[in-house]
A and B are shown apart, each in its own frame.
Chain A
Amino acid sequence: MIRFESVTKRYPDGTTAVDDLSLEVPRGGITVFVGPSGCGKTTSLRMINRMVEPTEGRILINDEDVADRKPARLRRSIGYVIQHAGLFPHRTVLANVMTVPTLIGWDKGRARTAAMEAIEKVGLTADQASRYPAQLSGGQQQRVGVARALASDPEVVLMDEPFSAVDPLVRTDLQNEVRRLQRELGITVVLVTHDIDEAISLGDHVAVMRQGGHLAQLASPGELLTEPADDFVASFVGKDRGYRKLGFTTTQVESDPEETVALGEDVPAGRGWVLAVDEDGQPLGWVDRQGGSGGPVREEELHRMGSLAEVGDSARVFLDAALSAPSGRGVVVEDGRVVGTVVPERVLEAIRARGGSAA
């Protein structure tokens, strides 16, 4: 839906920020522009809403050349989120989010309603809506930035390093939030980041760019990990791409049946690792009965479980469950209930059976 046709941008000082870029951002989904700092990601993004004008080539949205649109009008129709949120410090959260609805001429009531909806969508409260940006945490401010971009229901939302300035925990939250919103609203998101992990976990399509504004590869994350187009992409994607690729491999891993016990149940010594579950069949932890003495299972002797694999998860999740369990058997659940366990060999067999390749 957004098409770059041989787009080149040379800044007045002679820097070629983007060089003959041709690519198509498909409708819906999240397309990520990723690459090292200074490779022209921001410039590319800004040419979409004419914050930067291309030197050569053109950009079409729904087959319409953006150069034919009035810049201010065009920008009002496209959501935009930047790194430090770029909120207006002198306006309340609500007023910030009402910006675009007001600019496109909605009456106050309608603009207000739309803004409140957007504020709720990103997980903020009505109470927070009346505060000033400085009264919110960095993560909350970034949510306001997202709400502001969404308030007028744009088809396209551009995001420039939206999560770089927040701490990792908050970042994961925001990433999930953006993914959920994109799915829910069916919008087209173009997101710029220098973080390849973010690109791979968040993108439906990933455009890897290299220094000098060249497109190195545009592919799905799985493809990028399996078949990097060249050495640059391979090294940018990183060393452990074989393992990370498993994150995009959904396999039919058959779990082995696991005999479970309840708390208080008598388990003799020498039975090895035993999995304890509650009355609903939800896993509680592992009990060590390799040696020592037997007796009823007590809550204090439970070992942590390791990560859980849910039926349908990627091979990476299954393998991680198997590797992180103290028993060497990863717990597989469905709707929270234990359905069995897997040993690493099982997962590897399943990967091998799939031809070992992702995507």
Chain B
Amino acid sequence: MIGGVAWSTVGDLLLRHLYLAGVPLLVGLLISLPLGWLATRYRWLAPPMIAGTGLLYTIPSLALFILLPLLLGTRVLDDANVLVAMTLYSVALLTRTVADGLGSVPGATRQAATAMGYGELRRTLVVDLPLAVPVITAGLRVAAVSNVSIVSVAALIGVSQLGQLFTEGFNRNDMGPIVVGIVACVALALVLDAGIALLSRVLTPWLRAGVAR
């Protein structure tokens, strides 16, 4: 027991939280990659696309959690509502990030790749994307932390995760669960953040190769 909560309960809620925040992050990234690519490929698409996806982020999460069952025809307690909502938020943050990342590739590098005889798709995958990794992972870190924080709101509609500790503590007028919930949320956010930072390092060995002759 910790703060009046069973360790196993904390563990279960933590895993649920990770699932509800992490899976949408990955799916959001997969959706954002082609969207961000479109925004860099067709310049005129960039402003409406980035403004449009950015707008998603301004929808209050509670409203989205409540509206989605109506729109999707899902049950109110369905995880799918949270997963879809978090995916939308991830896309909102990451489309811009991917566009910025691809846009950060030096024009000379891209032109050299084309001049060597790369087709557009192959060039995007093996030249542009690896070079965009630092920018994209920076955005991923922000999105990961943001997801962890937003997911806890879903406790209000009864989907269990760490946020549940807040509602419980509030109902029982007990600080214990609330503190446990906050610490667990922060720990999860930090671990995700560090994990992505590490991944970025592993993917970009050239950035840390000693400089000069």
A134: interface (CB < 8 Å): yes
- A88 to chain B minimum Cβ distance, whole angstroms, is 6
Q: Which of A51, A90, A134, A148 contacts B131 (CB 8 A)?
A: A90
A103: interface (CB < 8 Å): yes
Fill in one digit per residue for A73-104: 1 if any B CB lies within 8 Å of its CB, else 0: 11110001011111111110000000110011
Judging by beta carbons under 8 Å apart, are A88 and B113 in contact?
Answer: yes
Interface residues of B in 114-156 (CB under 8 A from A): 114-119, 127, 130-131
Could you say which residues of chain A place their CB within 8 Å of the CB of B72? Answer: none
Fill in one digit per residue for B196-213: 1 if any A CB lies within 8 Å of its CB, else 0: 000000001010011111
Could you say which residues of chain A place their CB within 8 Å of the CB of B114? Answer: 51, 75
- A158 to chain B minimum Cβ distance, whole angstroms, is 8
Interface range, A side: 20 to 34
Judging by beta carbons under 8 Å apart, are B118 and A88 in contact?
Answer: no
A131: interface (CB < 8 Å): yes
- A256 to chain B minimum Cβ distance, whole angstroms, is 48
- B209 to chain A minimum Cβ distance, whole angstroms, is 5
Taking A49-B115, A72-B117, A103-B117 as contacts, is the C-beta distance between A137 and B108 under 8 angstroms? no
Could you say which residues of chain B place their CB within 8 Å of the CB of A86? Answer: 106, 108-109, 111-112, 115
Judging by beta carbons under 8 Å apart, are A135 and B213 in contact?
Answer: yes
A132: interface (CB < 8 Å): yes
Could you say which residues of chain B place their CB within 8 Å of the CB of A75? Answer: 114-117
Could you say which residues of chain B place their CB within 8 Å of the CB of A103? Answer: 116-118
Judging by beta carbons under 8 Å apart, are A135 and B212 in contact?
Answer: yes
A-B contact pairs, 24 of them (CB 8 A): A51-B114, A75-B117, A76-B116, A76-B117, A80-B112, A80-B115, A84-B108, A86-B109, A86-B111, A86-B115, A87-B109, A88-B113, A88-B131, A89-B109, A89-B131, A90-B130, A90-B131, A90-B206, A99-B116, A100-B116, A103-B118, A134-B209, A135-B210, A136-B213
**CA of A72 to CA of B211 in the docked complex: distance in angstroms?**
34
Taking A76-B116, A89-B206 as contacts, is the C-beta distance between A134 and B111 under 8 angstroms? no
Using CB atoms, name the residue of chain B closest to A103. B117
Given contacts A80-B112, A132-B206, A134-B211, 10 further A-B contacts (CB under 8 A): A49-B115, A80-B116, A82-B111, A82-B112, A85-B112, A88-B127, A99-B116, A100-B117, A135-B211, A135-B212
Could you say which residues of chain B place their CB within 8 Å of the CB of A131? Answer: 209
- A137 to chain B minimum Cβ distance, whole angstroms, is 6
Judging by beta carbons under 8 Å apart, are B108 and A83 in contact?
Answer: yes
Could you say which residues of chain B place their CB within 8 Å of the CB of A135? Answer: 209-213
Taking A90-B130, A90-B131, A137-B213 as contacts, is the C-beta distance between A82 and B206 under 8 angstroms? no
